[in-house]
Amino acid sequence: MKKICLTVVGMYFMLLHAFSQVTKDSAAFKPRKLQLDEVNLVSSYYTQRGDHSAIQGGIGSEKVTDLANGLELKWVGWDAHQRKNTLTAGVGIDIHTAASQAYISKTGASRRTDGTRIYPSLDWTRENEKKGTSFSLGAYYSNEFNYQSIGASAGATKKTKNNGEFGLKLSGYFDRVKLIYPSEFEPARTYGGGRDEENHPDYGSSPRQTYTASFSFSQVINSRLQASFLLDLVQQHGYLGLPFHRVYFTDGNDAVENLPSNRFKLPVGVRLNYFLGDKVILRSYYRYYQDNWGVRSHTASLEVPVKLTPFFSVSPFYRYYTQTAANYFAPYAQHAATDTYYTSNYALSAFSSNFFGAGIRLAPPKGIFGTHLSALELRYGHYTQTTDLVSDVISLHLQFK
């Protein structure tokens, strides 16, 4: 937690200095060049524990800690045709440790694994307020020791005459998975002087592609009720497992998990927001999901923001999730050696989970302490799963205007 505080405080003073260089333009004129309008800083700390490590074939510690920090800068301007242009640049850095990583080697010896993930992004949106339309483009990149991803997206929205809006977004991610195998499946490498080196860096890689078409429709039904309908079509192709996930068979032998090279996902969701007076909002969500691996799931959540004062609110939330097991899942040492596909990754098992917690938000109209810090939000959540996985997450969001 000390690392979180130092990171947030350091970036806070940096942002105050940056905003001190920006002169706010109060005159409503157009066109206007892009100007820094908003900065968001998010820090979170996540920890989990469990006893079904996929690296050890469905047994062993799942202890993980993750410290994540994200910075987002947003510029806004209007062109000569009175179209609003928004440019958003972001970067995130995650630092994580996983107890199970040491057991990629059967000896439990430490491996050369980098627990840092870096993921910058860039999004541009052009909105024509007169026509009620918008168009957006995005580019994304993510890199960590065993994984690299490049993504791109394009989207459009169209408002209707009766307070509705249609949305379409197309995206593609092109990944490369580094083939880091368990130690017993890696060929021994002999270097000068007869020294065997197990953790050599010469890993190969395998591609993976993910294509998504997202459709949405939102509608203001009346002054109190708003609804949104969501549909995603997701197609994945390539290496869809992880090479250091073991599977143990009934005969005592082990292998690397083997999954189909194609997966089609179909999630369908609906959101309902109901304004219960001036101080309480009911935010509900339901999603049904299925794929061609045999997984079927249901998600239901409810969040209830309550305004205690005009600028201070509390938001308790709860989410329930349940899923069936994939056709290719079996626990430790229960797969037959004749199976074509096999995994003991409990993310593909049958389970139910509960996630609950609360957030507090402070957003005075003149900023916190009269500064450019316009909003502060602190959230905590506790997660339990019927596989005995337990996790906690705490996050801090600072918004500067």
pLDDT, one tens digit per residue, over 183-232 is 888 765 544 444 444 444 567 899 999 999 999 999 999 999 999 999 99
| CATH, residue 279 | 2.40.160.40
- Domain presence at residue 29: no
Tell whether the model's pLDDT for residue 39 goes beyond 60: yes
- Domain presence at residue 106: yes
User: How far is 92 from 137, CA to CA, in rounded Å?
Assistant: 19
Per-residue pLDDT reduced to its tens digit, 317-333: 999 999 999 999 999 99
More confident residue, 390 or 2: 390
User: How far is 323 from 379, CA to CA, in rounded Å?
Assistant: 26
Would you state the pLDDT for residue 198?
46
Cβ burial of 13 (10 Å; 0-12, 13-18, 19+) is exposed
The range of the structural domain enclosing residue 293 comes to: 2-20+35-400
User: CA nearest 345: which of 204, 239, 267, 247?
Assistant: 247
- Domain presence at residue 280: yes
User: How far is 66 from 3, CA to CA, in rounded Å?
Assistant: 12
Q: Domains in the chain: how many in total?
A: 1
Q: Is the dihedral of CA 389, 392, 398, 399 positive or negative?
A: positive
Considering the entire predicted model, what is its pTM? 0.88
Structure tokens that stand for 126 in this block: 């052009």
- Domain presence at residue 283: yes
- Domain presence at residue 16: yes
User: How far is 245 from 348, CA to CA, in rounded Å?
Assistant: 13
- Domain presence at residue 30: no
- Domain presence at residue 13: yes
106 falls in which pLDDT band (50, 70, 90)?
confident
Share of the chain above pLDDT 70, in %: 87
- Domain presence at residue 344: yes
281 falls in which pLDDT band (50, 70, 90)?
very high
Tell whether the model's pLDDT for residue 29 goes beyond 60: no
